[in-house]
Amino acid sequence: MKSYIELALLAGVLALTSTAVRAEEPSPRVPSWEVEAGVLQTENMEIRGYQEKNATDGWDKTIPTGRLEYWLRREDAWNYGVVLQPIYASYSGTIQNDLNAKGQFFQAGDKGTLDYQFHSLRVSANYPVLTSKEGNYLRLGGSLVARYFNAKLKTGTASIDDTNFIVVPLINVESDVVLTSRHSLFFRADFLPGIDGSVFLDGLYDVLLAFRTPLERSRNVDFGVRLFFGGYDPNKVDDYANRIFFAGVVGRYTF
């Protein structure tokens, strides 16, 4: 009889222990999709050779933009995301300053065209460092971006078709500040500041600032601005460098 009582007590202890362990298990991460669409305006498209001025000064274009993100989220732990951002623009204009690059000479005054691609795929992770009971938060982390670049610059006498692919780490920041019971100010950025030259112009910045409206079932609608800018100075003879600044308005839907 005693052995049966001991077995019953042991079974009860194991059941309570199992229940406690299950209660302490973290909640699962919630998957979500974010779809973005809008327009981007070229505020600056700069292509210049070593110790030369901008050959494409004033070249501008307004282009449609789209962006797709997939996130696994937990309020009290790491969030993980994958982001796809393509950028394609086609320009035409007059070469403003002489450009010597890649064995080609582009003369000021000549008519030219530029087909420009800057596509990126990134993986991101961020962790909450500040939170409040009102719903405000600040998350910090990092991203790894794989970036494809292609520039085709042509005039009647010269042409460049240059392609580049790199993988670089970025700093990731995400924040949400509650404004009213129905609205908040949402901020997310991936960036790598410049070190040798200008902090802003020689780095890489992808910034979103938007007003967020929560909907039912953890869905959100955002309207705001996206800034995409950066680049570097040319540091080799017979080579060129590219600096850009795109600014636009976007709408986003999270579901």
Domain 29-254 has CATH 2.40.128.90: yes
What are the residue ranges spanned by the domains of the chain?
29-254
Tens digit of each residue's pLDDT, the chain (255 residues): 444 444 444 445 444 444 443 444 567 899 999 999 999 999 999 999 999 999 999 999 999 999 999 999 999 999 999 999 999 999 999 999 999 999 999 999 999 999 999 999 999 999 999 999 999 999 999 999 999 999 999 999 999 999 999 999 999 999 999 999 899 999 999 999 977 666 666 789 999 999 999 998 889 999 999 999 999 888 899 999 999 999 999 999 999
Predicted confidence at residue 234, as pLDDT, reads: 86
Q: How far apart are CA 178 and CA 196, in angstroms?
A: 37
The torsion angle over the Cα atoms of residues 160, 117, 59 and 155, rounded to 10 degrees, is: 20
pTM for the structure as a whole: 0.85
Report whether 213 contacts 199 (CB < 8 A). no
Q: How far apart are CA 213 and CA 211, in angstroms?
A: 7
Beta bridge partners, 113, equal 92, 154
Distance from the first to the final alpha carbon of the chain: 59
214 phi, psi to nearest 5 deg: -70, 140
Burial class (CB in 10 A: 0-12, 13-18, 19+), 23: exposed
With tokens 């410049």, the residue in question is 194
Predicted confidence at residue 19, as pLDDT, reads: 42
Residue 208: both structure tokens together: 């979103």
Predicted confidence at residue 197, as pLDDT, reads: 63
HEC profile of 182-233: CCEEEEEEEEECCCCCCCCCCCEEEEEEEEEEECCCCCEEEEEEEEEEEECC
- Enclosing H/E stretch for 9: helix 2-24
DSSP label at residue 19 = H
Q: How far apart are CA 154 and CA 165, in angstroms?
A: 21
Predicted confidence at residue 203, as pLDDT, reads: 86
